[in-house]
Amino acid sequence: MEFKEYKYYATAEKTAKENGLFLLDKERIFDFSCLVSKNLIDIPEREAEVIINEAKHIYNSNTTSFYGKKFDEFSACDGTAKYIKHKVYSKKTGKFKYTIFMLAKLNHYSKSCKHVYDQYYDIVASEFRSKYTEPMADIEI
């Protein structure tokens, strides 16, 4: 996956809408395009929702999410998601406006078993790594 060039706007709402990103609040936007594009990583939709729901714990000071969920007695998932942050500042005032978090690394484990009495899950590991690394400078608009 190559770095996605974003169109930056004065508000987080407009930036998220124009780029097809997920707006969590007025200061945090998330790019989950690798989860949407099935040719990059193939995990079930309900497990992708777990990753998206755990994004609420991602901030500028913490860019790694450790997640896990037991769906029923037969299936569960867990893993780690690492985000790269793109801080956006106002060129006029120099004040912080919002951050775009791009999902850059994912180690995901889908777990399933056939019987309630099974002691261990069958595990399917999925791994995704973006070719993009941390930006060299903050973005000014």
Distance of CA 19 to the CA centre of its chain: 15
pLDDT at 3: 57
Q: pLDDT (tens digit, 9 = 90+) per residue, 65-123?
A: 999 999 999 999 999 999 999 999 999 999 999 999 999 999 999 999 998 888 888 99
Grade residue 33 by pLDDT with cuts at 50, 70 and 90: confident
Domain annotation covers residue 52: yes
Domain annotation covers residue 4: no
Of the candidates 49, 53, 50, the residue with the CA atom closest to the CA atom of residue 69: 50
What's the rounded Cα separation, in Å, for the pair 26 and 78? 28
The whole-model pTM stands at 0.88
* Residue range(s) defining the domain that contains residue 105: 12-130
Domain annotation covers residue 121: yes
Look at the chain and report how many structural domains it folds into.
1
Domain annotation covers residue 3: no
Q: pLDDT (tens digit, 9 = 90+) per residue, 82-95?
A: 999 999 999 999 99
